[in-house]
Amino acid sequence: MRIGVDVGGTNTDAVLMDGRSIICAYKASTTYDLTSGILEAIEYLLDNIGIESSAIESVMIGTTHFTNALIERNGLLEVAVIRLASPSGHSVVPKVSWPEDLVSAIGDHTYLLPGGYEFDGREITPFDEEAVRRAAKDISQKGLKTVAISSVYASINQEMENRAATIVRQENPGIYITLSSDIGGVGLIERENATIMNASCTELACRVVKAFGEALKKIDIIAPVYFSQNDGTLISGELVERFPIFTFASGPTNSIRGAAFLSGVEDGIVMDIGGTTCDVGVLQKGFPRESCFDVDIGGVRTNFRMPDILAIGIGGGSRIHCPIENLASTERTAEVSAFLEDVQIGPDSVGHDLMIHGLVFGGDTLTTTDISVAANPTLAKELGIGESERVQHLSPIFVSGVRAKIRGICGDTVDRMKTEAGDVPVILVGGGHILLGHDLPGASQMIRPRYAEVANAVGAAIAQIGGVVDKIYSYQEQSRESALDQAKQEAIEAALQAGGTAGTARIVDVEEIPMAYVPGESVRIKVKAVAELKSNE
């Protein structure tokens, strides 16, 4: 059996799974120290089912903690940045477009040194050992704890980054080092940004991973701990200590993957309706569709593969603002019709205090949930949400008008995300799914799977192991077939090495990008392989 945990900003959800069936789920509040919330949730699962800790074979954790650390500029280390590229790149120094407060949290310790490669593997300038050593000594003198090293075309050849790391380590034993070639991707600025952000989180990552491990030990769970990453696959705790950035934006991925699992649908639209927002994503062959454009995290552009998400400011706790008093309960239908257009939904929300402030829960704030319950008391009763008697006074024309607005906005969002014409299944997950009824424009069916409220934790629990290759090949030096085969093989090996079961590995994505104008038929090949985790079977 295994446990999936989703550590969100507000809630910590956990599910206990055996093979492909869900045994039990629990929702706890996220605690300041993270671990006590996790402990509460896991202990509940174990006690409720009455199983021993030793029955747990693995624990999968999805967390937004490192993303939040960057967004809140909290717990970050100052970073020394070594870029091997000089004289190229001086016109765009590291962190040039970063938000000022993030730059001041990370400090200004930049070393622009000779090195780097051309597209064809030639050196831009030779590696300068002495220059790197001087920088390493300076880093030591400043007492910096973490270093980010980048070089031009590191995806073709990472030798210079490795050499620089060796020298830095000689002068600074025990220092954290992040290499851009380990982060991967083509695009120096985006890759370097991610490398620096990663370097700034490494100490925090070590602390958090260690704390998770110790917490689990306390309740005698000795199973390996994995973390979800942004592409829906898992990495080990040791890798998270070195590459916390790989966990960024795992939340939306987990909710989409969880929705796929819970509903059994492989292609469709997933709406994750929370208290304040609704995240709409696309499910393609069981995986989230990735964004076409580069993604900003905390104001910094990265080359990360992220799910293509459209967020709208409507959730279960969104407030309804009326232009005139008592509009919601008036019996004068002409008045309602006249002012309906000016009724505003959100973007402010009562959030997780919905159970206190919402009308159906005995509060005094009109929210989207109240409208939904009034419009569909049968469904509300089925789902056990509030008391519909408390919203009987709302005027039916007002309720249906506001509901039409919500449906219109959601339907439009679904339409914007659709990849093909025609109606598609819509899967509703998250705590606010009552917001929508049994139909929506553009939806072939509305699916409300059991355990929809903990889809994120389920997504973490069912994640697979992935392996990615992203490199430039020359079709003059080797045939296209041989380059593709090599890339696929490397991706599969990477997936198996990370804990996948041999024989279950499959290639899920192949992308070829010819490098315009470059001779030698240079092509960038991105391949992703995934495999079932050994413990999932």
- Contact footprint for other proteins (CB under 8 A): 85, 87-93, 96-97, 116, 118-120, 122, 124-125, 152-153, 186-189, 289, 292-293, 416, 419-421, 513-519, 521, 524
CA–CA dist 276, 38 (Å, integer): 23
Residue 433, φ and ψ in degrees, nearest 5: -70, -10
Neighbouring C-alpha atoms within 13 Å toward the C-beta of 291? 18
Q: Is the CB of 61 or the CB of 197 nearer to other proteins?
A: 197
Q: Is the CB of 352 or the CB of 471 nearer to other proteins?
A: 471
How near is the Cβ of 517 to other proteins at its closest, in Å? 4
How near is the Cβ of 306 to other proteins at its closest, in Å? 14
CA–CA dist 436, 425 (Å, integer): 14
How near is the Cβ of 186 to other proteins at its closest, in Å? 6
Rg of the chain on CA atoms, in Å: 26
- The residue assigned the tokens 């030591």 is 140
The answer to whether 410 and 439 are in contact (CB under 8 A) is: no
CA–CA dist 137, 140 (Å, integer): 5
Q: Is the CB of 213 or the CB of 313 nearer to other proteins?
A: 313
Q: Is the CB of 355 or the CB of 518 nearer to other proteins?
A: 518
Enter the tokens of residue 158: 């990472």
Q: Is the CB of 339 or the CB of 475 nearer to other proteins?
A: 475
CA–CA dist 298, 93 (Å, integer): 19
The answer to whether 170 and 94 are in contact (CB under 8 A) is: no
How near is the Cβ of 85 to other proteins at its closest, in Å? 7
Q: Long-range CB contacts (< 8 A, 24+ apart) of 91-96?
A: 92/189, 94/150, 94/192, 94/196, 95/193, 95/196
How near is the Cβ of 97 to other proteins at its closest, in Å? 6
How near is the Cβ of 106 to other proteins at its closest, in Å? 17
Q: Is the CB of 334 or the CB of 516 nearer to other proteins?
A: 516
How near is the Cβ of 297 to other proteins at its closest, in Å? 16
Q: Is the CB of 26 or the CB of 117 nearer to other proteins?
A: 117
Residue 146, φ and ψ in degrees, nearest 5: -145, 145
Residue 297 CB: number of other CB atoms within 10 A? 20
CA–CA dist 182, 195 (Å, integer): 9
How near is the Cβ of 461 to other proteins at its closest, in Å? 28
Q: Is the CB of 355 or the CB of 515 nearer to other proteins?
A: 515
Q: Which residues contact 11 (CB under 8 A, 6 or more apart)?
A: 27, 28, 29, 30, 352
Q: Is the CB of 323 or the CB of 519 nearer to other proteins?
A: 519
How near is the Cβ of 173 to other proteins at its closest, in Å? 32
CA–CA dist 472, 519 (Å, integer): 13
